[in-house]
Amino acid sequence: MKKIAFFLILCSLFFSCETEIDDFKTKNLSNAIVVYGEMTNQNGPYSVRLNRTSSYSPYDVTEFQGQVIKNADVKIVDGLGRMTQLTEIRAGFYQTSPLFKGVANQKYQLKIKTSDGIEIESTPEELKLPTPLSEFSYKFINAEKVEDMRFDLKAAIKDSKETEDYYFIKRQDFVQFLTTCPEPPPPPAPTPVCYSKCWRAPLNTQPILVNDFLVNGKNIPLSLGSVNLQDFPDWVVQLDVFSVSKETYNYWKRQEDQRVIGGGLFDKIPAQIIGNLKCTNNASQEVLGIFLVGGVIKQRLTVDRFNAITPEILQKVQFYANFHNIRYKDAPLWDCKNAGFVDYNIGYTLPDLF
């Protein structure tokens, strides 16, 4: 009997302590200001984005983007004290004149004053001379199946001697795609012009980070992977090679380390990553982001997938592309630019390199 009484008391403890929460709210304990800008040796304009982190709201998707900071005074100051004013061209987005251009071996600093008096500045950083690629090429790798046919990419940086060098590299691919023109109208109606060749630029936000540790003055290879042969239009690979400071390199390296955390027992604990910016008149104001100063050189490699293969291989590729509807034959259009179902469709031509 005592055992039964004890069991009933124990059950009552489990089921009588439930509390219904009907006023659940979330609160963002950080009111950080987020800054991002770039300055290079290329022609301007240069841009700076300003926003505040904001609290999560399931009813307002704009909260995920942060709250833009309007009406700020944003300047770039060089090592001689000369100031260049940025203009707010849209809410929270500030830009220099296109005539303003960075000069190699000069130092630059970003200075911001918000409308409510918060002052932010970046660490002065030298704009380093850009380093060109020493190699940028591709090689066709044949295989039995089309899925396994590819073009291996190869690139390398010729590092300079006697200096400690760090590189931040953006990669952007431009892939030409084809659409199928519909049947023309019967005569005497004229046949409209059909634009069936367009370009898409798949989104890529992961930089390549390399340094010259243990390879000072030698070629530094870049890991670029390969390009498939599932269709034969051109594939263009663009690399923007930034020569940056050690601090900028470490900032992006920490970002990448956070991104690849796998949740293991010995993985690093995620944390906010501080860049080269700080608030100078309020020590408690958190500032995130970075003002990147670096020399950059842009290079493109066109992988000619059509002329690099034999007629026999081309026949297999054409069959593969038709079978998998890679050329959108089930959605014929007069104008491929209007193919909204193609992700990151940028139209008929590639953007200028410079």
| DSSP notation for 281-294 | S-TT--EEEEEEE-
pLDDT score of 264: 58
Beta strand residue intervals within 58-106, DSSP E:
67-68, 73-78, 83-85, 87-90, 93-95
Q: Which pLDDT belongs to residue 214?
A: 77
Q: What is the pLDDT of residue 134?
A: 93
Q: How many CB atoms lie within 10 A of CB 299?
A: 14
Q: How many Cβ atoms sit within 10 Å of the Cβ of residue 254?
A: 15
Phi/psi zone of residue 328: left (φ > 0), alpha (ψ -120 to 50 degrees), beta? left
198 vs 66: CA distance, rounded Å = 34
Tokens found for residue 337: 């630019």
CA 289 – CA 50 distance, rounded (Å): 10
Read off the amino acid at residue 12: S
**CA 4: distance to chain centroid?**
65
* Burial environment of residue 231 by CB neighbours within 10 A (0 to 12, 13 to 18, 19 or more): buried
Contacts within 8 Å (CB) and 24+ apart, 342-345:
342/177, 342/198, 342/200, 343/200, 343/202, 344/200, 344/201, 344/202, 344/203, 345/198, 345/199, 345/200
When computed from its CA atoms, the radius of gyration of the chain, rounded to whole angstroms, is 27
State the DSSP code for 16. Answer: S
Looking up tokens 């904001």, which residue turns up?
Answer: 54
Neighbours of 344 (CB within 10 A): 13
Residue 127 burial by Cβ neighbours in a 10 Å radius (0-12, 13-18, 19+)? buried
pLDDT of residue 265: 53
Pairing type for strands 67-68 and 107-113 reads unpaired
- What does the alpha-carbon distance between residue 293 and residue 248 come to, in Å, rounded to a whole number? 8
3-state secondary structure of 176: strand
350: number of Cβ within 10 Å: 16
Query: Which structure tokens are listed for 305?
Result: 């997938």
Which tokens hold the place of 122? 């970046």
Contact between 37 and 86 under an 8 Å Cβ cutoff? The reply is no
User: Can you give the pLDDT at residue 61?
Assistant: 44
Which token pair is 153? Answer: 């990419």
Per-residue pLDDT tens digits for 111-167: 999 999 999 999 999 999 999 999 999 999 999 999 999 999 999 998 888 788 999
Residues of the chain with pLDDT under 70: 1-30, 54-65, 261-272
- Cα–Cα nearest to 246, from 165, 162, 170, 128: 165
Q: What is the pLDDT of residue 19?
A: 40
pLDDT at 22: 44
